[in-house]
């Protein structure tokens, strides 16, 4: 081998080492820069080390608790979570809107590592919010899992919604790990990752996120936890014949129900639905001129605020409806409702509310509303 060949080989090795060294230095610089800025979460049961038994997927009824493993939601860290879902009795956000917070303060809303996994996008140079908004506003979901976009401005302010008049040095894309459609799938995670890569290619950004297998394992644990706790309690009103939908609606509204899409809701004093009322055929109350023969009352326990008489309140309203509509109130098995069973169910629901609290999924909380959607 000639001296020239040896020299070229040595030169090639040196160039490779220089490229590797530069990439390492750049990655280290990005990590240090991003590590400093996003708020850390307080202690959370879902982030603890306690374990729970694994249950069935939480798309149906539920009973259970959950145990997670994860990291704080920073622009240099990835979010991980482990959880459990149970079964029992019958039981985000697009970027763009201006925030009410002053421009010189951080937004309080942030990615939730208990139920979301984060992909971090770090721009080589700050990018105008006006340029990012058309792209990020379309990043609402990956498959059937909602996505949220958070930003870090060039002056290190955290934003829950991007603003057109600001410049951003980095973004977080938070993907929900599980909901009632099941855990995040490999296809859904790939869709989210592809969206992040597209963003990176458009605006010259580095993309960083956790390993796919780790994400899918976190999603499965969260789904198990929620399946163990996912409980809905139902009652049925048998009207004994078709009654005009307009009359049924008038009675329901007179008793205090309000519209929420095709269903009616009975609101709590904290502004969250306690339970819902729907037509037995699933149609909207104001859809067409057809009659109503059956009504369904539903208490969605994880999505309803804790209440010592959660079921009892629904029963009381159901009986008033039955009286006004000359209907029969029955349980989810079609049997007349026994007074003794009301107190028993309320006692069981108190246990469930406690389990939800212990699992870091307080009933009616923003986190519970996400994973039990």
Q: Are residues 235 and 173 in the same domain?
A: no
Q: What confidence score (pLDDT) does residue 19 get?
A: 65
Confidence at residue 284, expressed as pLDDT on a 0 to 100 scale: 85
Q: Decide which of 180, 209, 225 is a domain's last residue.
A: 225
Q: Are residues 276 and 150 in the same domain?
A: no
What is the number of H-type helices and E-type strands within the chain? Answer: 8, 16
127 and 256 housed in the same domain: no
How far is it, in rounded angstroms, from Cα 83 to Cα 224?
6
* Residue where a domain stops, chosen among 225, 251, 272: 225
Paired tokens of 79? 């979010």
Q: In terms of Cα–Cα distance, which of 152, 70, 153 is closest to 117?
A: 70
- DSSP class per residue in 20-69: HHHHHHHHHHHHHHHHTTSPPPPP-GGGS---------TTSSBB------
CATH number, domain containing residue 283:
3.30.1400.10
Q: Among 253, 173, 243, which residue's Cα sits nearest to residue 210?
A: 173
Asked whether residue 256 is domain-assigned, the answer is yes
- State the residue range of the domain holding 279: 231-371
- From first to last of its 373 residues, the chain has per-residue pLDDT tens of 677 777 777 777 777 777 676 666 555 554 454 444 444 445 566 765 443 333 344 544 433 333 333 333 444 333 333 333 333 333 333 344 444 445 568 999 999 999 999 999 999 999 999 999 999 998 999 999 999 999 999 999 999 999 999 999 999 999 999 999 999 999 999 999 999 999 999 999 999 999 999 999 999 999 999 999 999 999 999 998 889 988 999 999 999 999 987 789 999 988 899 999 999 988 888 776 678 999 999 999 999 999 999 999 999 999 999 999 999 999 988 898 888 899 999 999 999 999 999 999 999 999 999 999 9
Task: Specify the pLDDT at position 263.
Answer: 87
Say if residues 314 and 305 touch (Cβ distance below 8 Å): no
CATH of the domain at 111: 3.30.1400
* CA distance linking residue 231 with residue 348, whole number of Å: 11
Cβ-Cβ contacts under 8 Å for 90 (sequence gap 6 or more): 61, 231, 232, 233, 234, 332
Whether residues 274 and 366 share a domain: the answer is yes
Q: CB–CB of 158/108 below 8 Å?
A: no
**Claim to verify: residue 119 and residue 209 sit in the same structural domain:** yes
SS3 316: helix
pLDDT the model gives residue 49: 45
Task: Locate 128 and state its tokens.
Answer: 């105008």
Q: How far is the C-alpha of 30 from the C-alpha of 170, rounded, in Å?
A: 10
pLDDT, position 103: 54
- The neighbour count for residue 97, using CB atoms within 10 Å, is 12
How many structural domains compose the chain? Answer: 2
Task: Record the pTM.
Answer: 0.73
Domain assignment present for residue 24? The answer is no
Give me the DSSP letters along 116-181: EEEEEEEEEEEEEHHHHHHHHTT--EETTEEEEEEEEETTS-EESS--TTSEEEEEEEEEE-EETT
């Amino acid at each position: 081998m000639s001296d020239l060949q040896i020299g070229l080989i040595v030169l090639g090795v040196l160039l490779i080492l220089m490229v590797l060294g530069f990439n390492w230095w750049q990655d280290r610089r990005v990590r240090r820069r991003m590590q400093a800025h996003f708020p850390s979460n307080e202690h959370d049961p879902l982030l603890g080390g306690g374990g729970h038994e694994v249950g069935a997927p939480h798309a149906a009824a539920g009973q259970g608790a959950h145990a997670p493993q994860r990291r704080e939601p920073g622009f240099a860290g990835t979010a991980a979570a482990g959880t459990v879902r149970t079964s029992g009795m019958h039981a985000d956000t697009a970027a763009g809107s201006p925030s009410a917070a002053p421009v010189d303060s951080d937004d309080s809303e942030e990615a939730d590592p208990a139920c979301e996994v984060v992909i971090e996008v770090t721009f080589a140079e700050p990018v105008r919010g006006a340029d990012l908004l058309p792209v990020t506003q379309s990043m609402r979901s990956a498959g059937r899992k909602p996505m949220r976009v958070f930003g870090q401005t060039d002056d290190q302010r955290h934003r829950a919604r991007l603003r057109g008049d600001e410049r951003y040095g980095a973004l977080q894309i938070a993907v929900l790990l599980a909901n009632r459609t099941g855990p995040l799938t490999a296809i859904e995670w790939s869709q989210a990752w592809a969206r992040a890569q597209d963003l990176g290619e458009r605006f010259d950004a580095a993309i960083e996120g956790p390993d796919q297998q780790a994400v899918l394992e976190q999603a499965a644990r969260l789904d198990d936890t929620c399946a163990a706790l996912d409980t809905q309690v139902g009652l049925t009103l048998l009207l004994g014949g078709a009654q005009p939908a307009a009359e049924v609606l008038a009675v329901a509204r007179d008793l205090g129900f309000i519209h929420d899409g095709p269903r009616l809701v009975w609101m709590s004093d904290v502004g969250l639905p306690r339970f819902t009322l729907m037509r037995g055929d699933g149609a909207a109350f104001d859809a067409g001129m057809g009659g109503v023969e059956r009504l369904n009352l539903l208490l969605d326990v994880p999505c309803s605020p804790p209440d010592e008489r959660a079921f009892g309140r629904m029963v009381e309203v159901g009986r008033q409806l039955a009286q006004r509509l000359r209907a029969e109130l029955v349980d989810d098995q079609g049997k007349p409702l026994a007074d003794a069973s009301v107190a028993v169910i309320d006692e069981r629901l108190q246990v469930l509310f406690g389990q939800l609290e212990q699992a870091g999924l307080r009933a009616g909380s923003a986190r519970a509303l996400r994973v039990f959607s």
